[in-house]
Structure 1
Amino acid sequence: MRMLVTGSTQGIGLETARQLTAVGHDVVLHARNASRADDVRGHLPDAPVVVGDLASLRQVRDLADAAREHGPYDVVVHNAGLGGGRDQRVVTEDGFEELFQVNTLAPYLLTALLPAPSRLVHLTSGLEAQGTWRPDDLQFERRPWDGMQAYCDTKLHDVLLAFAVARRWPDTLSNAVDPGWIKTRMGGAGATDELPDGAETQVWLAASQDDAALQSGRYLKRREVLEPNPVARDVTAQEQLLEICGELTGVAFPG
């Protein structure tokens, strides 16, 4: 199968690509910039690499164009994302809060611009449980800045996006995965789980023909189906997020 894994130059994304490649799948890698693209070629030299900074809507559009040249895709894994806890609110060149743009807008836009795959995996975090749904203030323009809460909110958005796609695109298996607290640069020194474990569920959802893997609209960790933040099941919230992302990006969600 042909697969695209975003944020695949290091950490969980690279491990996901490695595991998928090892079992014979054709994987297209994604790097934020040319330097990282050069680095990842040392790990998976035969895999194509597409480049684009998710903090730029222009670059996400260019990334989609480049990715289409290597597609179509059976599977897209939205692995790329920024961590939380930052002290200050950062605004991108597009005028959006950076965590929201990278973690929420970018996967929305890339999904909307690419042909629908057979399977779609959104990485989230167990901190989605602490996420709040504030359609009137998704970017902390009115609330006092809280970097960790902003992160939790975007991880809830990722589950909302996964479930919205599952409902809108019945022919696409769309799920959200909590990879666990993994020993990566983002996870930090205190992380408890090993890198291969952080990729295993995504690989299973992407490639397995097991009946348990061929289901949609779920939130999983270690292949176990968990109950997400109740907001994630709210169809009104799902539709609101799609509408807001469509307005901000200028690209309505297909279907």
Structure 2
Amino acid sequence: MTDILVTGSADGIGQQIAQQLTAAGHRVVLHARTEERAVAAKAAVRAAAGVVVGDLASLEQTRALAATLGRFDAVVHNAGIARLDSSERALTEDGLDSTFQVNVLAPYLLTALMPRPARLVFMSSALAAEGITELSDVNYERRQWSGYEAYCSSKLYCMLLAFAFARRWPDVRSNAVDPGWVRTRMGGASAPTDPADAARTPARLAVADEPASGEYFTDRDWRPGPAHRDPVLLDELLSMCAHLSGGHPGTR
């Protein structure tokens, strides 16, 4: 039996990942943004070992969440938001772009603060191909805001986080997954991929005893290139996240 934390598991792909893992006999802890969503999450995945609560749009709540967690064999970083059609950026209580904070900074901070797991799974997307690595302006303070670009870039950064942790921690199997265009609240009813199908690869990676690390799993055509594995870029991403989250050195 494997102990696994799945963030953003109140619905969608995260809920499906949790259901598949509990059905296979693993001990799964769910995560929800609010107490109300936590109740719904536990009702949907009754075999789950429990639910932890924390709003990943808050550095304070993310730190508090990490402080309550023990060691897991695997963490699936599934929580995320998309403001694809938004005409202006939304700032969190920390003064950061909400898409970047929830999708990128929160999984970084949780990973840095939690006891080191054996496996990390970061949910990315083929839209990472349209993302831009502009580490000096992740909050769009100088550039014109684009909700679509911000989301694509956040999925690119998620993939890079998987590569960065794989490089920084050779003893951890850290990988990224493109689940496809999925029929969820975020993906919409017209998306072609069923959430149960989208959940299979991240669920497998959470428990698989395979050597893959620093890889990007997808059924679509786009693949990361050598530039996405540049050690300088990966170190800069970790350093930038450490700075924005309060200078935490937990990835050494």
Q: TM-score, normalised by structure 1?
A: 0.93
Show CA shifts across 1:158-180 (max 9, x none). Answer: 01100000001011000000000
State the alpha-carbon separation in 1 of the partners of residues 227 and 53 from structure 2. 33
Superposition CA RMSD, Å? 1.5
Aligned to 1:15: 16
Number of residues paired by the alignment?
248
Query: Is the 2:129–2:222 contact (alpha carbons within 8 Å) kept by the matching residues of 1?
Result: no
Show CA shifts across 1:64-93 (max 9, x none). Answer: 12222xxx1100000000114122200000
Show CA shifts across 1:187-240 (max 9, x none). Answer: 01220111111101001111233xxx4310000025x89621554212111111
Pairing 1:98-117 to 2, within 5 Å after superposition: 98-117=98-117
Pairing 1:18-167 to 2, within 5 Å after superposition: 18-47=19-48, 48-68=50-70, 72-85=71-84, 86-167=86-167
Q: CA deviation at 1:116?
A: 1.0
Change beyond 3 A, Cα 1:225–1:67: farther
State the alpha-carbon separation in 2 of the partners of residues 43 and 149 from structure 1. 33
State the alpha-carbon separation in 1 of the partners of residues 41 and 189 from structure 2. 23
SS at match of 2:136: coil
State the alpha-carbon separation in 2 of the partners of residues 234 and 203 from structure 1. 28
Query: Is the 2:105–2:245 contact (alpha carbons within 8 Å) kept by the matching residues of 1?
Result: yes
* Percent identity for Structure 1 against Structure 2: 50
The answer on 1:215 being equivalent to 2:212 is: yes
- Whichever residue aligns with residue 234 of structure 2, its letter is Q
State the alpha-carbon separation in 2 of the partners of residues 156 and 195 from structure 1. 21
Q: TM-score, normalised by structure 2?
A: 0.94
**Pairing partner for 2:245 from 237, 246, 249:** 249
The answer on 1:2 being equivalent to 2:3 is: yes
Runs (4+) of structure 1 moved beyond 3 Å?
none
State the alpha-carbon separation in 2 of the partners of residues 99 and 229 from structure 1. 24
